[in-house]
Amino acid sequence: MKLLKELYMTNGVSGKEGDISNIVERELDLMKIDYEIDAHGQIYRIVEDNPLLCAHMDQVQSDSPDIVIYDRGEIFGSNKKGKSIGLGADDKNGIWICLNLLRLYPDLSFIFSTEEEMGGNSGILLRELQPESRFALVFDRKGGSDIVATFNSYCEDDMIDDILDVSDEFEMGFKEAIGTFSDCDHLSKYIPCVNISCGYHNAHSHVEHTVLAELRNSLKLGELIISELGENYYGRPQINVFDTIDDLTSIGGKRETKSAYTGWYKGARSYYETKTSSNKTQKKQIAYESYDVGSWTTCYECGQEYHETDRDEGGLCPFCGAMEYISISRYEEPTVKG
Ligand SMILES: [Zn+2]
Ligand SMILES: [Zn+2]
């Protein structure tokens, strides 16, 4: 757990991932695994025909804990004065899992991506490389039992069915879920992929923490997927949520699904602002409209849905007092690139 603790205590706020990438490079060097670094600071290696692992090196919090505490199965962070500090376990848990999987399977392809919390750069890399990979595993989902797959058009039924079979066979308890924005939104344009829970909770907040058993369970699932399914090819997803603006607005218009996309809107907005070339103004405008609809949220703790204007001071759920994920209204304007 030494590496995990070091990752938690090192800050990699979006755009300043250097200290995290130094750790990743050091670990890859120790394993004698070759890699390249692209213009966006992403660490990658593509081995044709092998499965691809992906986790992002940036985090939302601009500070990191001085002290990492393990208590009754959960890991928390704090500063020297005892104030809670988020771990950045989104997505350091994913980095830790990918590095551990590379220790077991050193021939896998991998991308340690940058600025995922701002819309992500892994798509740019894949567009250039057009890799021939069997499938990709992203470890960047909250909680301990979700696999984001066909509901987000990341893969077809063949892939998720096989993975759930593995989970059932080894009694790991994973189920399919709807997810927010992740690197899968980029990767799935080129490779079928899934986003797997990696044990973090209350992401983006100062009370972010990790459930250690869930983190270990995700690593185990990763191991099993590679060992049981690593030789398989899977169908490419037919529709991607980013492919048409209609998809974006239709998701934004549905009250029952939009809360699941709270974080996704944030990603979508910076994505559309920075990555679209044609019809830029119109797309930007539509993206903003659906973004505004997304101010409803579901409390992860009690399951109640509430509007951001009903939020308690300090971003707490008005029903149960639980801390909610960073709200859209408090999200800082992303810097528009280019
Ligand atoms: Zn993440
Ligand atoms: Zn995040």
| Contact between 63 and 9 (Cβ < 8 Å) | no
Smallest CA-to-CA distance from 183 within 120, 131, 244 is with: 120
CA 320 – ligand 2 centroid, Å: 23
CA–centroid distance, 115 to ligand 1, in Å, is: 10
Q: Report CA(116)–ligand 1 centroid distance (Å).
A: 7
> Ligand 1 (ion): which residues have CB within 5 A?
90-91, 140
Ligand 2 centroid, distance to 61 Cα (angstroms): 10
Q: Ligand 1 centre and the CA of 274: distance in Å?
A: 19
**pLDDT digits over 235-262, tens only?**
888 754 444 333 333 333 332 233 333 3
As a three-state string, the secondary structure of the chain is CHHHHHHHCCCCECCCCHHHHHHHHHHHHHCCCCCEECCCCCEEECCCCCCEEEEECCECCCCCCCEEEEECCEEEEECCCCCECCCCHHHHHHHHHHHHHHHHCCCCEEEEECCHHHCCCHHHHHHHHCCCCCCEEEEEECCCCEEECHHHCCCCHHHHHHHHHHHHHCCCCCEEECCCCCCHHHHCCCCCEEEEECCEECCCCCCCEEEHHHHHHHHHHHHHHHHHHCCCCCCCCCCCCCCCHHHHHHHHHCHHHHHHHHHHHHHHHHHHHHHCCCCHHHHHHHHHHHHHHCCEEECCCCCCEEEHHHCECCCECCCCCCECCCCHHHCCCCCCCC
In order of their start, the domains of the chain are: 2-229 (3.40.630.10), 247-337 (no CATH)
Closest listed residue to residue 1, CA positions, set 269, 292, 276, 210: 210
| Residue 224: closest CA among 183, 196, 192, 187 | 196
**Ligand nearest to the Cα of 138, by number:** 1
Q: What was the pLDDT predicted at 31?
A: 97
Query: How far away, in angstroms, is 59 Cα from ligand 2 center?
Result: 7
How far, in Å, from the CA of 102 to the mean position of ligand 2?
23
Report the C-alpha gap between 171 and 190 in whole angstroms: 31
pLDDT, residue 1, reads 80
For 269-295, the pLDDT digits (tens) are 333 333 333 444 333 333 333 333 345
Dist CA 107 CA 94 (whole Å):
18
pLDDT number for residue 244:
39
pLDDT tens-place values along the chain, 338 residues long? 899 999 999 999 999 999 999 999 999 999 999 999 999 999 999 998 999 999 999 999 999 999 999 988 999 999 999 899 999 999 999 999 999 999 999 999 999 999 999 999 999 998 888 887 899 999 999 999 999 999 999 999 999 999 999 999 999 999 999 998 999 999 998 999 999 999 999 999 999 999 999 999 999 999 999 999 999 999 888 754 444 333 333 333 332 233 333 334 334 433 333 333 344 433 333 333 333 334 566 776 677 666 665 666 555 676 676 664 433 333 344 455 54
What are the C-alpha distances in Å from 181 to residues 84, 118, 270?
Answer: 26, 10, 11
Ligand found nearest the CA of 267:
2
Cα of 230 vs centre of ligand 2, distance in Å, is 27
Which pLDDT does position 302 carry in this prediction? 74
CA of 30 to the centre of ligand 1 (A): 26
Kindly identify the ligand whose nearest atom is closest to the C-alpha of 196: 1
CB within 8 A of 87, min separation 6: which ones? 8, 64, 65, 68, 75, 76, 77, 200, 208, 209, 210
CA of 58 to the centre of ligand 2 (A): 9
Residue 231 CA to ligand 2 centre (angstroms): 31
pLDDT at position 330 is: 34
Ligand nearest to the CA of 60: 2
Residues with Cβ within 5 Å of ion ligand 2?
Answer: 90, 203
Closest ligand to C-alpha of residue 94 is 1
Q: What is the pLDDT of residue 25?
A: 98
Kindly give the distance from the C-alpha atom of residue 140 to the centroid of ligand 1, in angstroms, as a whole number.
5
56 Cα to the center of ligand 1, angstroms: 7
Please report the pLDDT score of residue 268 as a whole number: 40
Q: Return the ligand number nearest the Cα of 205.
A: 2
Ligand index nearest the alpha carbon of residue 57: 1
Ligand 1 centroid to residue 55 C-alpha, Å? 8
